[in-house]
Amino acid sequence: MPEKMSNEKVDTLRALGAEIVRNISHFCKPVFISPGMSHSWRLHKQIPESIILDQYRNPGNPLAHYDTTAVEILDQCGGKVNMVVCGAGTGGTVTGIGRKVKETLPDCKVVGVDPEGSILAEPEALNKSSITAYEVEGIGYDFIPTVLDRSVVDKWYKSNDKESLQLARSLMREEGLLCGGSSGSALSCALKAIEDADLKKGEVCVVILPDGVRNYMTKFLSDQWMMERDLLPQKDITDQYWWWDTTVAALRLEAPLTILPEVTVQEAIDIMKRKGFDQMPVVDVNGVILGMVTLGSLLTRVISKKIDYKDPVEGALYRQFKKVSLNMPLGKLINLLHTHHFALVTHSQIQYAGANKDEKKKEVIIGIVTQIDLLHYISSVEEGVRHRTLSVGEP
């Protein structure tokens, strides 16, 4: 399974007793592109009596939709369909439905949906994009599956994550349809296709909603997951979180204590314990940020004998830290703090070095911000509002 696939899919397969092998690619590579490198074929050769269902080449894939899905659509619509909109992944759905519908209703328009970052759409110019990965699962690939017959598609539309996932949530909220992200993709492109084709009242457009929400409970159903990726409508966010657009400057952080790289591990631990700090920035004599040291990391390294109490902290620097500015909105900050324990708040200053010398930019550490700082600010403001409300209401 590609790493992008949801944990729900992984957990379901494990519950069935499967052993999962994850592919680092954003896309599911076909076994026929590079048999010598394919994870699937390698495992197939290693595991006795194993099979590869291979939905990318299996003729039963589009045939199932030709014999069943398309027939159901025609029956349910009384043989009157003007447009069918399908997402394309392996290509089985759009191929099977498209072939059957075209045989029965030659004038019916078949619309293919392909996410930005995929290459299934035609003409090729539609696929030109700076996007290399997308969150919606089940549609789009970076190769053309054998079962995908693009000749049955009259027009392709490209979908994007933001519209797709927001519309999937709208389908749930407004229509009670518990569908997944690729259903939102199909609907977003269907709305454009209907407008472009100028369908009239009484004409029929069938939109295939191919997936359920079960596999995405911890993904686009989560406000937090959506906010981390800037996929939630701004109005929804600011209505729910009054502090969302407030900047880091409102936190009024105190300038942190910094240490030089030659300070010993023991001295750093003593300072943090005495001051009640969890971490401290390490800077050189010119104030350039070299990294961070944390109390937990230092103690762990000492206990595991990777460093000695007498060693300089320079050998235990934590260099993977985030820097933010005073202008960053708290909404973006909280998303960052979900994956990082802290962030350095910095400010750039211009340093004048003399009449004949170039000015230099110098980065100054203004503070260290954590989730506790954000929580304290929000709670203190809300507490102040409650006190003022009570005071106004008193006789």
Is residue 255 scored above 70 in pLDDT?
yes
Q: What is the mean pLDDT of residues 58-85?
A: 97
| More confident of the two residues 26 and 131 | 131
Lowest mean pLDDT among 98-112, 137-151, 340-354: 340-354
pLDDT of 395 over the 60 cut: no
pLDDT value at 32 more than 60? no
Residue range(s) occupied by CATH 3.40.50.1100 in the chain: 60-227
**Residues 234-251, mean pLDDT to the nearest whole number:** 86
Domain with CATH 3.10.580.10 in the chain: 248-381
pLDDT over threshold 60, residue 1: yes
Domain 248-381 homologous superfamily, CATH: CBS-domain (3.10.580.10)
Average pLDDT over residues 94-117: 97
pLDDT of residue 199: 96
Return the CATH fold of 60-227.
Rossmann fold (3.40.50)
Confidence of residue 393 (pLDDT cuts 50, 70, 90): low
pTM of the model: 0.68
Q: What is the pLDDT of residue 28?
A: 41
**Confidence at residue 392, expressed as pLDDT on a 0 to 100 scale:** 62
Tell me which of 59-73, 122-136, 190-204 is least confident. Answer: 122-136
Residue-averaged pLDDT of the chain: 88
Query: How would you write the chain as a 3-class SS string?
Result: CECCCCHHHHHHHHHCCCCCCCECCCCCCCCCCCCCCCHHHHHHHHCCCCCCCCCCCCCHHHHHHHHHHHHHHHHHCCCCCCEEEEECCCCHHHHHHHHHHHHHCCCCEEEEEEEECECCCCCHHHHCCCCCCCCCCCCCCCCCCCCCCHHHCCEEEEECHHHHHHHHHHHHHHHCCCECHHHHHHHHHHHHHHHHHCCCCCCCEEECCCCEHHHHCCCCCCHHHHHHCCCCCHHHHHHHCCCCCCEHHHHCCCCCCCECCCCEHHHHHHHHHHHCCCEEEEECCCCCEEEEEEHHHHHHHHHCCCCCCCCEHHHHCECCCEEECCCCEHHHHHHHHCCCCCEEEEEEEEECCCCCCCCEEEEEEEEEECHHHHHHHHHHHHHHHHHHHHHHHCC
List pLDDT tens digits, range 204-229. 999 999 999 999 988 999 888 888 78
pLDDT band at 86 (very low <50, low <70, confident <90, very high): very high
- Predicted pLDDT of residue 36: 34
